[in-house]
Structure 1
Amino acid sequence: MSELGNVDLAGEFTRYRETMLAEVEVPGPAEARRTVRRRRRHHLATAAAAAVALLGGPAVGYAALDRSGPPPEPVRPTPSASPTPTPSGSPNPTGPPSPTTASPSRTAPDGRISRQQLAAARVDLPAWRPGPACPTDGVRLAAEAGSAREKTNAIEEVETGDVDGDGAAETVALIRCALGSGGPQQAVAFDRDDAGRIVTVGRITASTIEQPQWLTGLDVRADGVVRVQVADLAPGGGWPGDWSQRQWRGYRWSGERFTQVEGPTSFGPNPYSTDLAVTAKDLILADDPTDGSRVGAIQVRIRNLGDRRADAVPLTLDLPVALLPYGSAWSGCGPDPGRYRPPLSCDLGPVEAGGELVVRLGVRLPPGARLTPGTAAVRGAATGPGGYNLLDPDVDNNEDTIAYR
């Protein structure tokens, strides 16, 4: 059995309680009432001070609690960090700011227009250059250039960007009026009005009869400049588009129209060009006693006045159909030099830059055939890689007129 079992626990607790109660002073009813009154006054004073402080600050709160003396000086806290200085030029308010009603600024309409939306609307276009009978007022644009009918307008390219500086995007489109396999072009800017209708801002640039004959690309920069890629010559008629010189030119909206602000304004000589000159002597036929026919030869001189080699020179002689090719000079013209008769034709060359070539092409009038004296054109052209025609700045000297009899 443990030692705890021999201890009288009940007696020990009794002795402890008697000792402690003798040393502790128990407050009577009067002291309890005094304690309650002190706590109540403290609570009321604290609540009143808090309420008055919310209404009028420390001075008013003190007056509400005790009007017998002056309010104490307010305690000014010492800042722990240096105050942020007021920026120079900024006004220092002397009181709370008065409420103002901000008037919202006008938001420009969103002028982003898709190709399909542009094709679905009726739009007005700037005038086309004189000549083509292309529509301009209330026209419907074909969404694709390949689907345009003759003398109708088609969309070739669409780009968007803020071109007038109003904070909203506009739409720039490359438009072509279909004329055969080509046709004139315009780069035109479109926008929307407040009602959402598509409106025309203006023409940026257009193709011309001279140069540029071809608009090949669009780009709208973030600064509002519209860049248009232009080419000196349009493809077609034996001229490949790859040979055309291309330039990027920049245009900016002035508030009334687009004006060019960047890029070149003209083209230099095209590298795929040369100046061919053709001269020929008259054809005089003489009798051939062997078979009763009449024969003769046309002497043709071809000079290359340019600085590019002509790979070949297709030559045509617009002679009467009764005259046939005759002699060995035609051997380099192919198996059938009269295939495209009339006229007679022969591919000559090459002719180096600054060089020349002289040929005598014989002709024969069969026995019994009649020939009325007259004149004929002898015409040449210079071709380059792939058999395409080189550009010739002076086509008037590519042809000569001869007499025949």
Structure 2
Amino acid sequence: MSEQETLGLAEEFAHYRRTVLEKVEVPGPAAVRRTARGRGRRRLAASTATALALFGGSAVGYAAMNGPDHRPGPVDPTPSISVSPTPSDLASPTLSPSATSGSPISAAPDGRISRSQLLGTAVNLPAWRAGRGCPTSSVRITADDREGANWLLALDHGDVDGDGAVETVALVQCVLGTGGPMQVVAFDRDEEEKVVTLGRVVATTIDKPQWLFALDVVDDGTVRVQVGDIAPGGGWPGEWSQRQWRGYRWKGSAFAQVSGPTSFGPNPHSADLAVTATELVLSTADDGSRTGETTVRIRNKGTAAVPHATLRLNVPSAVRPDVDGWGPCGNEPQETSQPVTCDLGRIAAGAEVTLTLSFRAAVGATVGKGSADVDVRPMDGDFNFLLDPKDTDNVARMAYR
């Protein structure tokens, strides 16, 4: 011990004798002779021990604080006062995953996005199919079907990428007229809590599926989408669409189908008709009018019979149906109707109907040269238009002169 430390301890002992020991009450002879002698000694011993403890703490602390090498060190937290546990508290505590792990676990960002949050956030959407479409970069999804908008139709949540956190899956439609393409898109959040696009789950096509009805995220992360082979409109309701549930899973960089059918069978509400028409050449008749014929062929290319079909010829108003050739039509062609129509009955699968239709232009009527559309539409037994998925051959161009 250095000389400085020895002098410091001596000074502390002197201070102790002047202050603490003077306050200790020594029992007199009478008290010693009483039975309280032991109790008095115990009190004196306790007081002395307390004083020595106080002295030791202050002396050591004083020496430490005034030593030449003193540096501030860490401060231990003040212990809280604990109450003796009850029997129910004596059970072994359950450790959290972080307490049992050797290293901290980094949690994936929470990708649960509510409907209002998604509607209020600018997002990027996967590209719509080729042609006129809706914007995809930094756009707001809408809650209604405004023309040219990206309309939010359905929303669900689940861990679709297997990172332990929930993501958001949305059914969106690009509104164009009464329809428009549709797609299911998965969204997530990045480390900065910004909404990001994970990827496209499935989209409608020109062929099939043409419609998406609903979505559902199941516990294993599969995104189930109800798809339909035909889109409502064009004279047929959405109920005519064949519906299938197909499942899709995230494969690290894109979604792929993992369950459900991969194709559609023939739709009972569909048909496949085709039409052709020859040139209509008008020649001058004996009475000065001009007459001519066109041969129209209608073929049922489908696998089922078509109960009814309607034929429409958009000839100029100066060209009217004549008598010959119109007998197979269930209706009587009107002189003033535009276009000229012909209602046909049942056409068997694979069958072809040939019509040779006569036209007449009145004396002095100017016809000129041009072309007219001739189209055929299939109908069911109740005269509702049937879907014709391959409708490009439902219309033919008929030249006239």
Structure-1-length-normalised TM-score: 0.64
What amino acid is the match of 2:211?
W
Superposed counterparts of 1:6-405, under 5 Å: 104-143=104-143, 147-285=144-282, 292-327=288-323, 329=326, 332-333=330-331, 336=334, 338-339=336-337, 341=338, 343-372=339-368, 375-384=371-380, 386-393=383-390, 395-396=392-393, 398-402=394-398, 404-405=400-401
Structure 1 residue 237 displacement after superposition: 2.7
Q: CA RMSD in A?
A: 3.1
Structure-2-length-normalised TM-score: 0.65
Name the CA distance, whole Å, in 2 between partners of 1:101 and 1:400.
Answer: 74
What amino acid is the match of 2:321?
P
Name the CA distance, whole Å, in 2 between partners of 1:126 and 1:299.
Answer: 48
- SS of the equivalent of 2:378 reads coil
Contact 1:272/1:308, CA 8 A, preserved across alignment: no
Contact 1:337/1:345, CA 8 A, preserved across alignment: no
CA 1:174 to 1:369, structure 2 compared with 1: closer, same or farther past 3 Å?
same
Structure 1 residue 133 displacement after superposition: 4.2
- SS of the equivalent of 1:229 reads strand
Name the CA distance, whole Å, in 2 between partners of 1:383 and 1:173.
Answer: 36
How far does the alpha carbon of each residue in 1:106-158 deviate from its partner, in whole angstroms, 9 at most, with x for none? 33343322211210122222233333342222221112xxx243322121100
- SS of the equivalent of 2:116 reads helix
Name the CA distance, whole Å, in 2 between partners of 1:371 and 1:245.
Answer: 47
Contact 1:275/1:392, CA 8 A, preserved across alignment: yes
Contact 1:337/1:346, CA 8 A, preserved across alignment: no
CA 1:372 to 1:353, structure 2 compared with 1: closer, same or farther past 3 Å?
same
What amino acid is the match of 1:118?
L
Structure 1 residue 377 displacement after superposition: 4.3
What amino acid is the match of 2:379?
T
Structure 1 residue 389 displacement after superposition: 3.4
Contact 1:240/1:388, CA 8 A, preserved across alignment: no
CA 1:131 to 1:393, structure 2 compared with 1: closer, same or farther past 3 Å?
closer
How far does the alpha carbon of each residue in 1:63-95 deviate from its partner, in whole angstroms, 9 at most, with x for none? xxxxxxxxxxxxxxxxxxxxxxxxxxxxxxxxx
203-212 or 323-332, larger mean C-alpha shift: 323-332
- SS of the equivalent of 2:119 reads helix
How far does the alpha carbon of each residue in 1:340-382 deviate from its partner, in whole angstroms, 9 at most, with x for none? x2x3222222322233434443322222223335554433232
Name the CA distance, whole Å, in 2 between partners of 1:131 and 1:117.
Answer: 30
Structure 1 residue 270 displacement after superposition: 3.3
Structure 1 residue 222 displacement after superposition: 0.8
CA 1:392 to 1:288, structure 2 compared with 1: closer, same or farther past 3 Å?
same
Name the CA distance, whole Å, in 1 between partners of 2:138 and 2:280.
Answer: 60
Contact 2:274/2:299, CA 8 A, preserved across alignment: yes
Structure 1 unaligned residues grouped into runs of 5+? 1-98
Percent of matched pairs sharing the same residue: 53
Name the CA distance, whole Å, in 1 between partners of 2:252 and 2:134.
Answer: 27
* Greater gyration radius: 1
CA 1:297 to 1:169, structure 2 compared with 1: closer, same or farther past 3 Å?
same
Contact 1:338/1:345, CA 8 A, preserved across alignment: no
Q: How many positions carry a matched residue from both structures?
A: 300
What amino acid is the match of 1:197?
K
Contact 1:276/1:392, CA 8 A, preserved across alignment: no
Structure 1 residue 234 displacement after superposition: 2.1
Structure 1 residue 288 displacement after superposition: 5.7
Structure 2 unaligned residues grouped into runs of 5+? 1-98
371-380 or 240-249, larger mean C-alpha shift: 371-380
Name the CA distance, whole Å, in 2 between partners of 1:400 and 1:128.
Answer: 31
Structure 1 residue 228 displacement after superposition: 1.4
